[in-house]
Amino acid sequence: MKLTRRDALTLGLGATAAALLPMSATAAAEDAIAVFTGGVEAGAGDITLTTPETVENGNRVPISVEAPGAMAIAVFATGNPTPEVATFNFGPMAGRRFASTRIRLTATQDVVAVAKLADGAFVRTSVMVKVINGS
Amino acid sequence: MISGDKPRVKMPVSAAAGAEITIKTLIPHPMESGQRKDSDGNTIPRSIINRFTCEFNGESVIDVRLEPSVSANPDFEFAATVPEAGVFNFTWYADDGSVYEMAQEIAIG
């Protein structure tokens, strides 16, 4: 494909839009997180979110979360059309508070994990995942 | 679910009393997100597995709420404690009302 000046400009505009977009996407994600926490501020703490740094294919991105003592852990994809991904509620027969699955990411974005602890406090962490081909 | 395919569970057949085990599950399902369009430009309606539960002898191990951002053929890995011999029950709930179930016994020893 030949890259014309018009194409280059369009690409540039697209990149600018993409750079601006995460702001609004993050706002939607923060709203979704507030629904999970009931508006309680989630601080940093003992929670681990493991993802690849870069993925070729956004259709199956392996993630795992762990937060010792958590009652529940919710995962959010801040750049997806709907930020909620999954909520893991741990029961009395759960072992360590760990879960792993595969998720869809439409583009490069921050993935956020939030854990609800036994005392009602919330902790969160986030990881930037670079996606080459979005889902 | 894709017809003919069954959910799969991978876990040990026995464990020491009180031990922690790792369980892996997978269900074949397209997890249609509701974001895609067909060739005529019509939105393909959302149809996903929206909940997965695992219980041991009737008590909850994990209860997962899934959204369309979970990949097709959703798989999970998690940990359970096994204080006694018994049965793990696995249940997947789909948007279309279908419920898929599996059970697996575990012995102590």
B100 compared with B3, residue with greater pLDDT: B100
Q: Are the C-beta atoms of A101 and A66 separated by less than 8 Å? A: no
- A-chain CB neighbours of B63 within 8 Å are 88-89, 91
- Domains plus CATH for chain B? 8-108 (2.60.40.10)
- Per the listing, tokens 């279908």 go with B98
Contact A113, A85 (CB under 8 A): no
Nearest-neighbour CA in chain B from A55: distance (Å): 14
pLDDT at B87 over 60: yes
* Set of chain A residues whose Cβ sits within 8 Å of the Cβ of B79: 94-96, 98
Q: Point out the least confidently predicted range of A16-30, B53-67, B72-86.
A: A16-30
CA distance B4 to B82: 32
How does residue B5 score in pLDDT terms, banded at 50, 70 and 90? confident
Token digits for B18?
């009180």
Mean pLDDT of B38-51: 96
Per-residue pLDDT, averaged over A33-61, amounts to 96
Number of domains in chain A: 1
Check residues A23 and A64 and name the one with the higher pLDDT: A64
- Going by pLDDT thresholds of 50, 70 and 90, the confidence category of residue A135 is confident
Task: Classify the C-alpha dihedral A94-A96-A97-A102 as positive or negative.
Answer: negative
Which pLDDT does position A23 carry in this prediction?
47
CB-based contact (8 Å) between B26 and chain A? no
Q: Which two tokens stand for residue A50?
A: 């493991």
Let me know: does B78 contact B23? Beta carbons within 8 Å. yes
Q: Give contacts of B67 with chain A, Cβ < 8 Å.
A: 82, 84-86
Question: Structural domain of residue A16, as residue ranges?
Answer: 5-133
Nearest to A30 by CA among A127, A103, A123, A112: A112
Q: Averaged over A75-80, what is the pLDDT? A: 97
**pLDDT score at A26:** 83
Give the per-residue pLDDT at A22: 46
Q: How do residues A112-123 score in pLDDT, each as one tens digit?
A: 999 999 999 999
Question: Chain A within 8 Å of B70 (Cβ-Cβ)?
Answer: yes
The average confidence (pLDDT) of chain A is 90
Q: Which residues of B touch A92 (CB under 8 A)?
A: 59-60
B64 inside 8 A of chain A by CB: yes
Instruction: Give residue A120's Cα distance to chain centre.
Output: 22
Quick check: B62 and A99 CB within 8 A? yes
**Looking at CA atoms only, how far is residue B76 from chain A in angstroms?**
5
CATH number at residue A119: 2.60.40.2470
Minimum CA–CA partner of B49 in chain A: A86
Beta strands per DSSP E along chain A: 48-50, 54-57, 61-66, 70-77, 84-90, 94-103, 109-117, 122-133
Contact predicate B13/B67, CB 8 Å: no
pLDDT of residue B2: 55
* Mean pLDDT value across residues B8-31: 97
CA distance B80 to A97: 9
